[in-house]
Structure 1
Amino acid sequence: MKARIPAILEPDSIDVVSHGPSHTVRIGQQIGAALTAGDLVLLFGTFGVGKTHLTKGIASAFGIPEADVTSPTFVLVNNYTADKTHGRTRIHHIDLYRLEGNAKDFDSIGLEELWDDSAICVIEWAERVADSLPSEYLEIRIDHLAETKRMMRLKPHGERYKQLIQRLRGK
């Protein structure tokens, strides 16, 4: 009999399993519905794990069509504006994969100006510039479980994001 490895549960975190790309979009919609201007969401995961699909869901919660949300790998930033019903909230979708991972690269493109109280900022490959990022954010780690199945761990960093996790739990 194989020994079991005990899971380390973090009381403030939420673990969610996605069963495919459309499910990942629906999870993103639920997360997006809990976000407000000024929120910073950092996405971690390997190629093809679903970071952009999750962002499609987040954006669609603000009335932005899924088809309009694409990976900004080559342009670094895609900007979206919510529909009138959602207060024209701006969403900045950033992909840092192409950065070398040093603060000089990050500072030279001025991305720190994008996370402010007037927009939601979603960053893919945030680990490339971790030392340059704010200390408060929502961390979402996505891991492959099977061909289309993913595990997502939502972990808050800071009081604002602990409250966001509570909203997602419906408390």
Structure 2
Amino acid sequence: MVTAGGWLFLPDPEATELAGERLASELRPGDLLLLEGPLGAGKTTLIRGLVRGLGGDPGEVCSPTFILRETYAVAGPGGIRRLHHLDLYRLRGKKQSPWHELGLDELLDDPAAVTAVEWPDDLPPAGLAPRVLHLRLRWQGEGRELEAQWETVPCPSFSA
């Protein structure tokens, strides 16, 4: 169910994972996903669903907070073969740009991959990839809400 303002209510982690699975059909190689939300809001759970929707093993997905970056093998539409998953939480507020440390430029140049970044606060506001999907999660009662938006255009999967 889409709530007022284009937010999708997710009552539990299973619904969050299913939302990620549904979003996978919207993706193309080269896409950049920026995941925002408080700690524990379900960002990694959403990635688990994306991996499942792209034909990968969701059991391999874990939060890369301490290792900063993981890559999952997938078999998605349009030739997507990898999902790069970065978690920049520990790099927030550093003076040096974190995307250079992690090789984000090289990941975004991967012609067979989608890149998902948790805690993208310190990334430049635009120009990283031709297609950028903003995924915002927030707490709502016992569940969560998700907003998915392509740069300035609402994501078709969640249109009312």
Q: What TM bracket, shorter-length normalisation?
A: 0.7 to 0.9
Count of residues in Structure 1 that have an aligned counterpart in Structure 2: 154
Q: Percent identity?
A: 31
* Partner residue, 1:36: 28
Residue 99 (structure 1) aligned with residue 91 (structure 2): yes
Counterpart residue number, 1:50? 42
CA drift of 1:102 comes to 4.0
Partner of 2:15: 23
Q: CA deviation at 1:118?
A: 2.6
Tell me: CA distance 1:85–1:139, structure 2 relative to 1, closer, same or farther (3 Å). closer
Gaps in structure 1 of 5+ consecutive residues: 1-6
TM-fit CA distance, 1:109: 3.0
Match of 1:4 in 2: none
Distance 1:157 1:138 in 2: 6
TM-score by length of 1: 0.78
What letter corresponds to residue 113 of structure 1 in structure 2? E
Which stretch shifts more, 78-87 or 149-158?
78-87
Match of 2:135 among 133, 140, 151: 140
Tell me: CA distance 1:110–1:132, structure 2 relative to 1, closer, same or farther (3 Å): farther
SS at match of 1:143: strand
Letter in 2 for 1:114: L
Give the aligned partner of residue 109 of structure 1.
Answer: 102
Residues 89 and 119 of structure 1 are in contact (CA less than 8 Å); yes or no, is this contact kept in structure 2? yes
Note the alpha carbon deviations across 1:5-60, whole angstroms, 9 max, x for none.
xx7x4xxxx42110100110000000012111111110000110000000000010
Q: Which runs of 5+ in 2 are unaligned?
A: none
Counterpart of 1:120 (choices 89, 110, 114) is: 114
Give the Cα–Cα distance (whole angstroms) in 1 for the partners of residues 133 and 36 of structure 2. Answer: 11
Checking the alignment, whether the CA contact within 8 Å between 1:77 and 1:95 is kept in structure 2 is yes
- CA 1:97–1:169: 2 relative to 1, 3 Å: closer
Are 1:63 and 1:86, in contact at CA under 8 Å, matched by a contact in 2? Answer: no
| Secondary structure of 1:120 counterpart | strand
Give the alignment's TM-score, normalised by structure 2.
Answer: 0.83
Structure with greater helix percent: 1
